[in-house]
Amino acid sequence: MSTSSPDNPYRTQRCDALRLTQTGAKVRLAGWIARKRDHGNLLFVDLRDHWGVTQCVWERPDPTGGSDPTGGSDANRQRHAELFAEIEGLSLESVVSLAGSVRARSPETVNPRNPTGEVELEVEKLTLLSRAAPLPMPVHRDADYPEDLRLQYRFLDLRRESMRRNILLRSQVIASLRRRMTEADFVEFQTPILTASSPEGARDFLVPSRLHPQQFYALPQAPQQFKQLLMIAGFERYFQIAPCFRDEDARADRSPGEFYQLDFEMAFATQDEIMQTIEPVLAGVFEEFAEGARVTPTPFPRLSYEEALLRYGSDKPDLRNPIEIVEVGDLFANSDFALFAKAVAGGACVRALRAPAAAHQPRSFFDKLNAWAREQGQGGLGYIAYPTLDNPQGPIARNISKDLARGLRERLAEKQNLADGDALFFVCAEKKSAALFAGKVRERLADLCGCREENRFAFCWIVDFPFYERDPETQRIVFSHNPFSMPQGGLDALERLDPLSITASQYDIVCNGVELSSGALRNFELATLERAFAIAGYTKEELATRFPGMLSALRFGVPPHGGAAPGIERMVMLLARESNIREVTCFPLNQTGQDSLMGAPAAVSPQQLKDLGLRLA
Contacts 24+ apart (CB under 8 A), 499-504: 499/467, 499/468, 499/535, 500/466, 500/468, 500/469, 500/470, 502/466, 502/467, 502/468, 503/305, 503/464, 503/465, 503/466, 503/467, 504/464, 504/465, 504/466, 504/467, 504/480
> 137 with 150: CB under 8 angstroms?
yes
> 244 with 257: CB under 8 angstroms?
no
Q: 123: helix, coil or strand?
A: strand
> 186 with 238: CB under 8 angstroms?
yes
Contacting residues for 473 by C-beta, under 8 A, at least 6 apart = none
Report if residue 347 sits inside a domain. Answer: yes
List 53's β-bridge partners, or say none: 48
- Residue 75 has a pLDDT of 65
- What is the rounded distance in angstroms from the CA atom of residue 326 to the CA atom of residue 312? 9
**Burial label, 302 (beta-carbon count in 10 A; 0-12, 13-18, 19+):** middle
Distances (CA, A) of 19 to 114, 176, 328, 449: 11, 30, 68, 50
47-57 in b/e form (b: 16+ CB < 10 A) is: bbbeebbbbbb
- What is the rounded distance in angstroms from the CA atom of residue 367 to the CA atom of residue 448? 13
> 517 with 508: CB under 8 angstroms?
yes
CATH assignment at residue 411: 3.30.1360.30
> 572 with 580: CB under 8 angstroms?
no
Q: What angle do CA 86, 90, 92 make, to 5 degrees?
A: 155
Q: State which residues form the domain around 388.
A: 321-452
- What is the rounded distance in angstroms from the CA atom of residue 308 to the CA atom of residue 178? 31
Q: How many domains does the chain have?
A: 2
Q: What angle do CA 613, 616, 617 make, to 5 degrees?
A: 130
Phi, psi of 341 (to 5 degrees): -60, -45
Q: Amino acid identity, residue 220?
A: P
CATH assignment at residue 100: 2.40.50.140
Q: Amino acid identity, residue 523?
A: N
Report if residue 203 sits inside a domain. Answer: no
Report if residue 59 sits inside a domain. Answer: yes
Q: Which of 406, 422, 452 marks a domain boundary?
A: 452
- Residue 65 has a pLDDT of 52
Q: Are strands 119-130 and 53-59 parallel, antiparallel or unpaired?
A: parallel
Query: For the packed helices 363-375 and 431-449, what is the interaxial angle rounded to 10 degrees?
Result: 140
Report if residue 115 sits inside a domain. Answer: yes
Report if residue 195 sits inside a domain. Answer: no
What is the block-wise mean pLDDT of the chain (617 residues), using blocks of 10 residues? 78 96 96 91 93 92 55 65 80 96 95 96 94 92 84 95 96 98 98 84 89 94 94 97 90 82 98 98 98 97 97 97 97 92 95 96 94 92 94 92 94 95 96 95 96 96 96 92 92 96 97 96 95 94 88 94 97 96 94 91 93 91
Q: What is the pTM of this model?
A: 0.91
List 59's β-bridge partners, or say none: 42
Q: Which of 101, 130, 159 marks a domain boundary?
A: 130
Listed in sequence order, the DSSP H helices in 360-466 are 363-375, 402-416, 431-449
- What is the rounded distance in angstroms from the CA atom of residue 1 to the CA atom of residue 456? 35
Q: 203: helix, coil or strand?
A: strand
Distances (CA, A) of 287 to 277, 298, 610: 16, 12, 54
Q: Amino acid identity, residue 465?
A: F
Q: Report residue 377 CA to chain centroid gap.
A: 29
Q: Which of 130, 151, 176 marks a domain boundary?
A: 130
> 339 with 428: CB under 8 angstroms?
yes
Length of the chain: 617
- Residue 253 has a pLDDT of 75
- Residue 256 has a pLDDT of 80
Closest CA to 486 of 508, 501, 467: 467
Closest CA to 445 of 313, 574, 349: 313
Query: For the packed helices 271-289 and 568-575, what is the interaxial angle rounded to 10 degrees?
Result: 40
- What is the rounded distance in angstroms from the CA atom of residue 408 to the CA atom of residue 270? 42
Per DSSP, 590 falls in state -
Report if residue 360 sits inside a domain. Answer: yes
Q: Amino acid identity, residue 319?
A: L
Report if residue 615 sits inside a domain. Answer: no
- What is the rounded distance in angstroms from the CA atom of residue 414 to the CA atom of residue 428? 21
- Residue 84 has a pLDDT of 75
Report if residue 35 sits inside a domain. Answer: yes
For the chain, the C-alpha Rg in angstroms (whole number) is 32
